[in-house]
Amino acid sequence: MEFLKELAEFMWERKIWWLLPMIIVLVLVGALVVIGGGSAAAPFVYTLF
Q: Which residue has the higher pLDDT, 14 or 38?
A: 14
pTM for this model (two decimals)? 0.55
* pLDDT at residue 17, rounded to an integer: 81
Q: 46 CB contacts (<8 Å, ≥6 apart)? A: 36
* pLDDT at residue 2, rounded to an integer: 92
* pLDDT at residue 25, rounded to an integer: 92
* pLDDT at residue 39, rounded to an integer: 64
Q: Give residue-wise pLDDT tens across range 11-37.
A: 888 888 888 888 899 988 888 777 766
DSSP of 1-49, one letter per residue? -HHHHHHHHHHHHHT-TTHHHHHHHHHHHHHHHHHHHSSTTHHHHHTT-
Per-residue pLDDT at 41 exceeds 70:
no
